[in-house]
Amino acid sequence: MEDTLNLLGHAARQVIGCLAALAQQEVAHVIEQIGLTLFDAPSLKAALDIDWADAGQKQQALQRLCDELDALQDWIGAHFPHERQSPPLAAALRTLQALRAQDLEPDPAGGSRIRQGVAKDRQISIHDPEMRHGRKSSATRFDGYKRHIAHDLDEGVILAAEVLPANTPDTAGLEPLLIAVELQQRQVTALHIDRGYLGDDLIPAYEAYGAAIRCRPWPAPHPAGQFSKREFHLDLAAAQATCPAGQVTPITLGKTASFPAEACQACALRAQCTSRKTGGRTLSIHLQEDLWQRLQMLSTTPEGRAALRERVGVEHGLAYVSQRQGNEARYGGVRKNTYHLRLVCAIQNLERAQALTAQAANDAEPFERLAA
């Protein structure tokens, strides 16, 4: 992963490399012809050579880089007007322009500045244009890719594996896994999934088809000491919610319901229910509220909790994969990293098959002795 300036520097060097190949000249000669000064050093930051803690110097360095990138693009327009429309120059130019657009923005004081915040789907590497920023939680960020696996809890083998850029929602990983499982003519009787997969449209479809969904429900946070959502009775058929004081309000899937302000103002339970200064208590109703309700009930019974614990097998499978593969992407791009993950999973399955064969032989041994 590279910072903005190095990213732009690498992208510009790729463009210059294409120009050198087109003109059949040395890179240094092309740089000299265009009049550039930043791209013949091994590192852009070394060429800029400023005190990076000084905001003024940093801004001037950025402006110098932007001026040279403009000069580069103008020169291409004048000398290679046709070649810039076709690969490989077109692709290198597209990358450079995309990086400028994603990482820079107009400075109200004039010129350009580094974009405030992170652009959506930000490219973070020139060498691997497919890797992305991802998040494990709001506080923990990681860069690269996410692994997705389908693990058979009965046989302990991995049935499918996918790699996707880190910023791809988990739900995008579910469909390819399930397609791969279906292609193996296996019947899915239960899906023990991580919460990230719950929002996929396939979940209700598989549930309707008879598969049990086992997952911890989406959280419904509430302030300590106040009524949680569980303490409200939700009647989805009648599209209404009843609060602990018996007040009824209409509900709509995917929307936030509000109890009447007048009733809540006069309610004796108000202190236990809401801290809002004005208005009534609100309740978020999930788009898949009926699923949420059923998942909530799971953790309230010993059988449900035991069913939820079965997912530990998937975690163990992932831990073995992680141990064998490591947690750094070995290759660039989704395709090669998917290939590597599947290779690791295949080896893991072979080990599992060997263990099952040895176990079957052990189990058979006493009977063979008896027969003898």
Residue 336: how many other CB atoms lie within 10 Å: 15
Half-sphere exposure of 364 (CA within 13 A, CB side): 6
- Cα 7 to Cα 4, 12, 19, 67, 157, distances in angstroms: 5, 9, 19, 16, 41
Q: Identify which of residues 49 and 231 has a Cβ nearer to ligand SF4 in the complex.
A: 231
> Rounded to the nearest whole angstrom, what is the least distance from the CB of residue 255 to ligand SF4 in the complex?
17
| Shortest Cβ 259–ligand SF4 spacing (Å) | 4
Closer to ligand SF4 by Cβ: residue 228 or 322? 228
Nearest residue (CB) to ligand SF4, 25 versus 272: 272
For residues 13 and 71, give the distance between their C-alpha atoms in angstroms, rounded to a whole number.
Answer: 14
CB 310, min distance to ligand SF4, A: 37
Q: How far apart, in Å, are the Cα atoms of 17 and each of 22, 236, 266?
A: 9, 63, 74
Taking the least distance from each CB to ligand SF4, the nearer of 167 and 247 is 247
When the beta carbons of 206 and 259 are compared against ligand SF4, the nearer one is: 259
Binding site for ligand SF4 (CB under 6 A): 243-245, 247, 259, 263-264, 267, 269-270, 273-274, 280-281
Distance CA 269, CA 271 (A): 6
Q: Which is nearer to ligand SF4, 281 or 311 (CB)?
A: 281
CB of 266 to ligand SF4, least distance (A): 8
| CB 320 to ligand SF4: min, Å | 48
Q: What is the dihedral of CA 229, 230, 235, 239, to 10 degrees?
A: 10
Question: What's the closest the beta carbon of residue 224 comes to ligand SF4, in angstroms?
Answer: 16
Residue type, position 222, single letter: H
| CA separation, residue 269 to residues 87, 232, 243, 256, 266 (Å) | 69, 13, 10, 21, 9
